[in-house]
């Protein structure tokens, strides 16, 4: 098993916890590329913590902020970290990633409704900033299908049976 797959599976462990907690089944991990160590792991908490901003990537970056900010100098720390998420980041998460100085993002499934990472990359807004971030989208078809099924099931449980997540499964 390669490292990318391994880290995505850890993100899916978080997504499973989110599912059990009754919120969007999305997870994310932050990995130090130099050491290979996982710095933080988090998950969606929108419905489990009643927090509209409780997305996996935002929670992840909050959890890791002491590794991203040097309070003594009031500087952002140059890092070589990668976010591995089960789902393409939304507008809020995409911009939080940019503002946190993360340069690499991998995700298992594209989000054709609220996914923003690819759209910001295409421009026209902030493209000079997003050019500094590299993406790896949907490297494994089976993990993309797994995330699509999990999110479709969550929408079904809330009474939505005809979302983009459902369509793309058929």
Q: Which of 57, 122, 144, 164 is catalytic?
A: 57
The least CB distance from residue 57 to Zn ion, in Å, is 6
Q: Phi/psi at 141 (nearest 5 deg)?
A: -55, -35
Task: Please report how close the Cβ of residue 130 comes to Zn ion at its closest, in angstroms.
Answer: 16
Cα torsion angle, 34, 88, 131, 136, sign: positive
Residue 57 annotated to the active site: yes
CB of 96 to Zn ion, least distance (A): 8
Nearer to Zn ion, 52 or 73 (CB): 52
- Contact criterion met (CB below 8 Å) for 38 and 7: yes
* Contact status, residue 42 vs residue 56, Cβ threshold 8 Å: yes
C-beta closer to Zn ion: residue 81 or 107: 107
Phi, psi of 85 (to 5 degrees): -120, 150
Distance, CA of 167 to CA of 39 (rounded, Å): 35
Residue closer to Zn ion by CB (options 65, 141) is 65
Nearer to Zn ion, 93 or 106 (CB): 93
CB of 170 to Zn ion, least distance (A): 25
- Supply 125's token pair: 């807004």
**Which residues of the chain form contacts with Zn ion (CB under 5 A)?**
55, 90, 92-93
Distance separating alpha carbons of residues 100 and 94, to the nearest angstrom: 10
The catalytic residue positions are 57
């Amino acid at each position: 098993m390669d490292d990318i797959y391994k880290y995505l599976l850890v993100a899916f462990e978080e997504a499973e916890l989110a599912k059990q907690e009754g919120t969007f089944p999305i997870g994310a991990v932050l990995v130090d590329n130099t050491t290979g160590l996982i710095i933080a792991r988090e998950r969606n908490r929108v419905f489990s913590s009643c927090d509209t901003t409780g997305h996996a990537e935002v929670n992840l970056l909050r959890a890791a902020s002491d590794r991203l900010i040097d309070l003594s100098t009031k500087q952002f720390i140059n890092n070589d970290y990668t976010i591995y998420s089960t789902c393409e980041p939304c507008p809020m998460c995409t911009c939080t990633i940019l503002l946190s100085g993360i340069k690499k993002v991998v995700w298992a499934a594209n989000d054709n409704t609220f996914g923003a990472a690819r759209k910001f990359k295409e421009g026209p807004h902030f493209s000079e900033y997003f050019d500094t971030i590299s993406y790896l989208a949907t490297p494994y078809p089976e993990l993309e299908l797994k995330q699509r099924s999990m999110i479709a099931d969550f929408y079904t449980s809330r009474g939505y049976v005809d979302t983009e997540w459902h369509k793309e499964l058929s």
